[in-house]
Amino acid sequence: MAKKITDKDGKTYVQVKPWYKRWWIWVIIAIVALILIGSLSGNSNSKAGSGSGSNTQTSSPSKITVDYDDYNVKSSKIYKVDYSNNDWDEADVKINKVTVYKLAKPYKFDSANDGKYDINGFIKLDMTIKANGDISIYPQQGTAVIGSEQEEAVGESWDGDINKGAEKSGEVYIPVKDLEKTTSISNIRFKFSGNDQNDMESDHDYDLTLNLDNN
């Protein structure tokens, strides 16, 4: 209740309580302070989780698209292999990384040569090819051996003719029938071929082995 004050002339005044003595003002200040502290803490956590480097964890994509078909992904793992091959003078071949995808469910895969069959995952090879001569090279027509499986490579076309001095980068997908988890594969044997554009008999067969470090 407000306090009444009467002065010497008989006039009555109501004494107003200072704002800092009102309890509800302090309740509001406390609530605002808690909101600000929570906001600053959230921003700090976001900054601490960002950055780059080999230890950075990235979330798995929800789906991938292979040969114009979409596949839902349960989990994925990236392996940095940094593989290079210059056995053939006409080309320098590099595989920068390998990604293993575990699919959310079995999918029916339509293979050009083997018909339809169930798959549980994909392996993606990120490749770069530099031509030292006019060449034709076909990693997307290659084959891979994974354990006891032999699978044909697929993907939207980026390989083929590459002229001297040019460099092409692209992805090669390999379907996997049996894949329990993204760390189930320890190595991949991958074979494909290339040839000189001006001399079809001057060709080269690649037979690569990629070791995946699961540590």
Q: What are phi and psi of 102, to 5 degrees?
A: -95, 120
- Each residue of 127-170: pLDDT tens digit? 999 999 999 999 999 999 998 899 999 988 899 999 999 999 99
> Do 184 and 91 reside in the same domain of the chain?
yes
- Whether residue 74 is found in the same domain as residue 144: yes
Q: For the chain, how many structural domains are there in total?
A: 2
Q: Does one domain contain both 140 and 75?
A: yes
Q: What is the CATH number of the domain that holds 203?
A: 2.60.40.4170
Q: Is residue 56 part of a domain?
A: no
Statement to judge: residues 135 and 68 lie in one domain: yes
Do 45 and 67 fall into the same domain? no
Asked if residues 210 and 183 have their Cβ atoms less than 8 Å apart, the reply is no
CA distance 211 to 187: 4
Could you report how far apart the first and last alpha carbons of the chain are, in Å? 72
Sheet strands (E) in the chain: 3-6, 12-15, 63-66, 69-85, 91-111, 115-131, 135-137, 143-146, 149-152, 160-162, 167-176, 187-196, 199-211
Residue type, 158: W
Average pLDDT value for residue range 20-34: 75
Q: Name the pairing type of β-strands 160-162 and 135-137.
A: antiparallel
Q: Is 67 a member of any domain?
A: yes
Is the model's pLDDT at 1 over the cut of 60?
no
Pairing mode, strands 135-137 and 187-196: antiparallel
Residues 177 and 84 in one domain: yes
Residues 76 and 37 grouped into a single domain: no
pLDDT tens-digit readout, 71-121:
999 999 999 998 999 999 999 999 999 999 999 999 999 887 778 999 999
pTM as predicted:
0.70
- Domain containing residue 10: 3-49
Best CA proximity match to 115, nearest among 179, 171, 175: 175
Is 58 inside any structural domain? Answer: no
In a domain, 147, yes or no: yes
> Is there a domain that residue 57 lies in?
no
